[in-house]
Structure 1
Amino acid sequence: MTQNTTTLKENQTTLTGNQQAFANALTTAFNTRLPLNEDEWTDYAPDENAAYNVQEAFTRLKKGEVGGYKVSLTSKETQDMFDSDEPLYGAEMRDRFLKAPANVNLKDLMEPLVEVEMCFRAKEDLTPDDTLEDLMNKTTVAPALEVPDSRFKDWFPSLSKYMVMSDGAVSGLVVYGDEFDTNKFGTVDALENVSATLYHDGENLKSGKSSEVLGNPLKSLQWLVNKLDSQGKRLLKDQRVSSGTFVLPPSLTKGEWHATFDNGLGTVNLNVK
């Protein structure tokens, strides 16, 4: 394994040559939509630190600026699938957050799924000192459909967690609906009791609750703020966070997708061509 290094100047992350090569390969797969084979890359990111280094480099190779993050593995079921005992996160570029109703071409994606989520937006910078109540007061919330996608072939649910981390937590895009001040819920506990139902071409596919997301989606947001802080980063004003899925995701296919939420959150729509 080569030992030459490349420094990412903003936070002084140092990459091995193999990690940079992995980030370059992910970028090529992202641009060409030709997937990678996992077994060719596992040695390039054998632990969490290496995987997040690769993700950082991969993010910097994308066009545009980071618009926020997605949090994955926020239920015991999904953590067990990927042999993890905590969530993981991925950066999402600003142009991958789409205001509903959104139109997407399936050919522009690789092997996408669709998830039902709540999407927060920071009204000011968030810090590790923020309590759940602080986070409720410092954010807006919107109903969302997240579309995870991967640069690896046959990735769900068999891709290893370090490959998922490297691949931006299989970042794809996030479609969000109308935003409301999160404190409209009144209490932190009220965010545990949001129900949502996913539809495809009018067919009721599945329903889930916000309690699937670490017990409360605000806990997912808090986890992210703390994780970023441990890496010398901060969740900034106007960045968005797709906080974790209510349901085990089906594959995204052509047609009209929407999710309806109770508690006044409304509906979010995505049309796939």
Structure 2
Amino acid sequence: MEVTLMDTQKQATMELSTKENELAEKLFNAYQSHNALKESDYKGVVTDEDAAYRVQKRLTELKNEEVGGYKVSLTSKQTQDMFDSDSPLYGAQVKSHFVQSPVTLHRAQLMEPLAEVEMLFTAKEDLSSKDSLEDLLRKTKVAPAVEVPDSRFSDWFPSLSKYMVMADAAVGGYVVYGQEVDANRLFDSVDALAKVKCQLFHDGKKLKDGASSEVLGNPLNSLQWLVKKLEDQGQPLRAGQRVSSGTFLLPESLTDGEWKATFDQGLGAVFLNVSKD
């Protein structure tokens, strides 16, 4: 079988260096032990996107669990500026870290978590880079979500470098999601998904308002970006996988207590309790 230059180059981008493999193993150890790493100890290990995603892929393999879906980060100009980026990035999320509302997360399950309010999509069939936004609306279910970003690095927000965020599975923690419904049943057009508003509460006190238009103008744009990115990397988004598509608001520190996110347009609400025990 003929091996093209492109095949050779693609293979080269997938092969981990010794230092990249060591970083993936350290991240996995921190994922298991909750003993945080210091980014300064790994300076120069991942200096570009290919290296960062290689480390993430190895970290995902080490978790030895089915990938339940993905989270998309840096979907607003403000968050891209914070991490010196001009595009989104993604992280693979294991199946057990997508959990349905209402749920209690224990402090021992977390490291330095944040709370973000998002729209979650679930693929009803395999998705393709050729899918239009209208196709994606038809091929997905949608649900309200609170994503809980959490890093294996100490003092990570907002100082962790973009490539380390990528390597650390886009600082994936948990995704708590509400009731799923067919997206085209809840929304009669693509544009309607850009008009969802949310409110985030902690122990009954409203902290912030947010809007779906913060997510690349429309959360479906985020989903479409991810589908194309994954396909480019040879790992298409499959039926049943979920996507937390990007935050409606700047994150809050996830402290102990009762959290609630409410959404208009019939999307519903998400309930999350964080317990110190």
Shared fold by TM > 0.5?
yes
Counterpart of 1:84 in structure 2: which amino acid?
Answer: S
- Aligned with residue 222 of structure 1, among 210, 224, 238: 224
2:24 counterpart residue number? 23
Displacement of 1:12 in angstroms is 8.9
**For the residues of structure 2 that align with 1:191 and 1:230, how far apart are their CA atoms?**
26
**For the residues of structure 1 that align with 2:74 and 2:271, how far apart are their CA atoms?**
24
Deviations 1:92-137 (A, max 9, x none): 0000000110110012111000000000000000000000000000
After TM superposition, which residue ranges in structure 1, 4 or more long, deviate above 4 angstroms?
Answer: none
Give runs of aligned pairs for residues 97-112 of structure 1, distance below 5 A: 97-112=98-113
Counterpart of 1:222 in structure 2: which amino acid?
Answer: Q
Contact persistence 2:143–2:179 (CA under 8 A)? yes
Counterpart of 2:224 in structure 1: which amino acid?
Answer: Q
**For the residues of structure 1 that align with 2:99 and 2:222, how far apart are their CA atoms?**
21
Contact persistence 2:195–2:212 (CA under 8 A)? yes
Instruction: Provide structure 2 residue ranges, at least 5 long, that are not aligned to the other structure.
Output: 1-10
Displacement of 1:63 in angstroms is 3.4
2:8 counterpart residue number? none
* Residue aligned with 1:263, SS: coil
2:155 counterpart residue number? 154
**For the residues of structure 2 that align with 1:116 and 1:106, how far apart are their CA atoms?**
20
Count of aligned pairs between the two proteins: 264
**For the residues of structure 1 that align with 2:231 and 2:37, how far apart are their CA atoms?**
31
**For the residues of structure 2 that align with 1:221 and 1:121, how far apart are their CA atoms?**
10
Counterpart of 2:89 in structure 1: which amino acid?
Answer: L
Deviations 1:194-213 (A, max 9, x none): 00000001000001100000
2:234 counterpart residue number? 232
TM-score (norm 2): 0.94
**For the residues of structure 1 that align with 2:13 and 2:67, how far apart are their CA atoms?**
18
2:206 counterpart residue number? 204
TM-score (norm 1): 0.95
Displacement of 1:14 in angstroms is 1.2
* Residue aligned with 1:269, SS: strand
1:213 counterpart residue number? 215
Contact persistence 1:260–1:268 (CA under 8 A)? yes
Give runs of aligned pairs for residues 112-261 of structure 1, distance below 5 A: 112-184=113-185, 185-261=187-263
